[in-house]
Structure 1
Amino acid sequence: MKPTLIAQLLQTLAPWRSAPAWHIAFSGGLDSTVLLHLLVTLAKTETLPPLNAVHVHHGLQAAADAWPSHCQSVCDSLGVPLRILRVQVQPGASLERAAREARYQAFAEVTGVGEVLFTGQHRDDQAETLLFRLLRGAGVRGVAAMPAQRPLAGGYLVRPLLEVPRVELEAYAQEHPLKWIEDPSNADSRFSRNYLRHKVFPALTQRWPQAVSSLARTAEHLNEAQGLLDELARMDLHAADRPSPFPWLHVPSLALAPLRELSDARQRNALRHWLTPLTRLPDSDHWASWLSLRDAKRDAQPVWRLADGELHRSGERLWWLPATWSEFSDATVSWPDQQNPLELPGNGQLKLMGNALEGPLQVRYRQGGEVIEVPGRGRRDLKRLLNESGLPGFVRGRLPLLYRGEQLLGVPSIAGRWAVPSEGWQLHWMPQSCDQGLS
């Protein structure tokens, strides 16, 4: 015998019953209205975490101005606190995507550590998502569609109705008689998802009555396949996660040699896994840039520019630089008090260790042609010293140089390559994003 909807939900919610709080994304539509009613009903007989509702107001259509008051009325009748969050949707090519990003950003802001946010997507939504992403040419991760749970801020986003068809939600709403909002935009077939819902799926289900459940099941299979690909990626990345020769340079990096030993497909799989938390990934056509970076000459310093930063190759190593990396000032900075660290705008902190120096002192950045006195070696060209050190090119422009007048007094030494100055002092640089410094 098939379990009732409320019994099915109770079983699904079992892993989350010890959470500090439950939030529900409450649009006022059918799905979230049913989910809210189910949760309130469960709370009458079960000990559950505190429940509150969150309504995100996008302000994209006039009809939406009445929805917050409707949601407040529903929540008041059920005894559930409601938060109404107003967001700004950034204009762009896809209004649907921009609204979704604004909505989930708002959800992330209200979800505390260990807390759970529930959304009302159901099995029909899962099937629509799969077909929509297939038509866009998504890979396995994309067509695996919506996971039943995923991290969100310090907590989790959970979709407890993913295995429930919409028709069951409609039946429950009629049985209890619930009132919900019908979004006028849901009937507009100019939006891709609405076109699938109103034009494509009726034709599919007329020919194949089990089309929705079959597509949802396919999404589950693909999700399992993606899990296996993630396991393989973690194995491959473990081999490439070798210590950096510059441990003070705390940016994500990988050794290239272990990746070269893999097939092209496994290289892409490992890099997708590594880059996913760092940047939006390119489509298949743009992965040719990875081959260009990988196969460039050894003395080259190739760069692969991605949506949220750059992947550099230097010293047979891959380095990820976020878009914010270049946001620092290379203006000259005076250092009037050597006893205190010098804050470098956008570039961390510089300390003078050991004996004090006669001033006035300044910190400048490379212009080219700099020469420095190296104990035991005489005057040496700074560029040549940096080449000997193997310091990645993207760091060299940020390397703080200590001057007195026009005399270059010192540079933070690189990985022990240069001797400590004989005068008994040294520079210690802690770049902005680093856990450790460079002396």
Structure 2
Amino acid sequence: MLGALAQAVERLPPARRWLVGLSGGLDSVVLLHGLAQLGGRVGSPGLRAVHVHHGLHARADAWAQHCQVLCDALEVPLDVVRVDARPHRGQSPEAAARHARYQALADQMAPGDALLTAHHRRDQAETLLLQLLRGAGPAGLSAMPRWQPHGSGWHGRPLLDMDRPMLEAHARENGLVWVEDDSNGDLGLDRNLLRHEVMPRLRQRWPSLDTTLARAAGLQAEAQELLAERAREDLQTLRGEAAGTLSIPAIRALRRPRQRNALREWWREKGLPAPNQNRLEALLQQIRDVGPDSGLLVTWPGAEVRGYRDSLHAMAPLPLLDPASVWSWDGIRDLALPELGITLSAQEMLRLHGLEPALLEPPLTVRLRRGGETCRLRGQTRILKKLFQEAGIPPWERDRIPLIHAGDRLAVVWGLWCCDLPAGAGRR
């Protein structure tokens, strides 16, 4: 196995350091042991193990201790990272644990690091079948890539071309000890049902099943690469006037398959999850039918898409805000407004608006738009809503712009306008 592992890591990009995701199970134990044995044979970088402690199993502490014993024997440093893997509403326990695990692993990475995990050929075959049963397209059927960007470095799977029996043989030959997670036998989980009930029967009929499915995944990956290339070309013609947006009329001009393909690539660029097929079709229907000011909005877990003036915007779901919220500000210390994703500071006020907040008429209060506000600009009183419309500010952004009041007067629309103030107010 060591020869195959050496060849596999040579095909991966260079790295400053290898971080091995160590669960304590057979696969990750074999991977760590093999990399430690290779040592300088492949000019390996620094080696470190990371064990993610989910805290969901009664034996979780014992598993972490087992990993520590193994790493001590191999003289490999180990980091044990505890995470909160409880699922959110509507999220499966498996998805929550997986998300928490990969986020924790990414947090341990420094620029140039490689995260190495022990996925092998059977894992690849199972993933392909699971994705097929979920109705996935080429992106999902590509299953797991050999390597991909992750965190501040990349994530590689050097065992992907190896069969599970090869790993078991290496473990026996070297007297390795590993832990068994009894949840792996729970047939109520889709992957376990495939692994223990379905795949063995398929292998009896088609002995080369794992190799064949891995090859099919590779072909899907090639097809997906071509689709992504076409999507990037289409996106160049779909860009809207505002940065990060797409033109709704330009999207309408494409056939449906190219619309879907381009939108999926757009969400991938933004780091947003893609919707399921029903949500995607609902979005395309609105794009086709609605007018420029109809309030186009489609949401799904982790993302939402909104339309304004023939432009399509995509973002993480916006938190609900209380329009009656009021914050007091002394004009000296920074005022963090996490609900708005912004921090107000005297330095930034001076840079943006040429005002020193400490010199404005007290008290200083920060509010949200409720409707009916006016701002006097160059001697003319203007309705704030009209100013926002003229500036092309989308409605959902208008409600999140801090309005700074000095006394009972609107003084600043943060980042946009400084309303007329009494002579010398706010300035030395």
TM-score, reference length from structure 1: 0.82
1:370 to partner: Cα distance: 3.3
2:230 is aligned to: 232
Q: Of 107, 110, 113, which residue of structure 1 is paired with 2:108?
A: 110
Counterpart position of 1:386: 388
1:32 and 1:405, CA in 2 relative to 1: closer, same or farther beyond 3 A?
A: closer
CA RMSD of aligned residues (A): 3.2
Counterpart check, 1:125 vs 2:123 = yes
Query: 308, 311, 314: which one pairs with 1:317?
Result: 311
2-structure distance, mates of 1:411, 1:185: 55
Q: Displacement, 1:256?
A: 2.5
Sort the Cα spacing of 1:243 and 1:221 in 2 relative to 1 into closer, same or farther, 3 A.
same
Residue identity matched to 2:8: T
1:37 corresponds to: 33
Indicate if the aligned counterparts of 1:369 and 1:381 stay in contact, CA closer than 8 A: yes
Q: Which amino acid aligns with 1:167?
A: P
Q: How many aligned residue pairs are there?
A: 411
Cα offset for 1:43?
0.5
Distance in 2 (alpha carbons) for counterparts of 1:164 and 1:57: 27
Q: Secondary structure of 1:60's partner?
A: coil
Give the distance between the partners of 1:14 and 1:170, measured in 2 at CA.
23
1:147-296 to 2 correspondence within 5 Å? 147-244=145-242, 252-276=244-268, 277-294=270-287, 295-296=289-290
Name the CA distance, whole Å, in 2 between partners of 1:43 and 1:278: 36
Q: Distance in 1 between matches of 2:327 and 2:215?
A: 62
Structure-1 residue corresponding to 2:8: 12
Amino acid at match of 1:393: P
Structure 1 residues without counterparts, runs of 5 or longer: 428-439
- CA apart distance, 1:291: 2.2
Match of 1:434 in 2: none
Residue 94 of structure 1, CA deviation:
2.8
State the Cα distance separating 1:299 from its structure 2 match.
Answer: 2.4
User: Per-residue displacement from partner, 1:375-401 (whole Å, max 9, x unpaired)?
Assistant: 47x444443443344321112223444
**In 1, distance between residues paired with 2:297 and 2:150?**
31
Deviation at 1:139, TM superposition (A): 2.2
Overall identity of the aligned pairs, in %: 41
Distance 1:320 1:423, change over 3 A: farther
| Residue equivalent to 1:430 | none
3-state secondary structure, aligned to 1:22: strand
Per mean C-alpha deviation after superposition, the further-off stretch among 107-116 and 323-332 is: 323-332
Letter in 2 for 1:368: G
Identify the residue that residue 431 of structure 1 maps to in structure 2: none
| Distance in 2 separating the partners of 1:110 and 1:399 | 35
Q: How far off its partner does 1:127 sit?
A: 0.2
**CA shift digits 1:52-79 (9 cap, x unpaired):** 2222233333344432333223222222
- Structure 2 unmatched runs, 5+: none
- SS at 2:305 equivalent: strand
Query: Deviations along 1:161-207, whole A, 9 cap, x unmatched?
Result: 10111122222223333333333332332222121111111111111
Where 2:29 maps in the other structure, the secondary structure is helix
Structure 1 residue 48: Cα displacement = 1.6
> 2:370: which partner in 1?
367
In 1, Cα distance between equivalents of 2:425 and 2:247:
30
Give the counterpart letter for 1:122 in structure 2.
H
Is contact 1:117-1:158 (8 Å) kept? yes
Aligned residue in 2 for 1:136: 134
| Partner AA of 1:264 in structure 2 | R
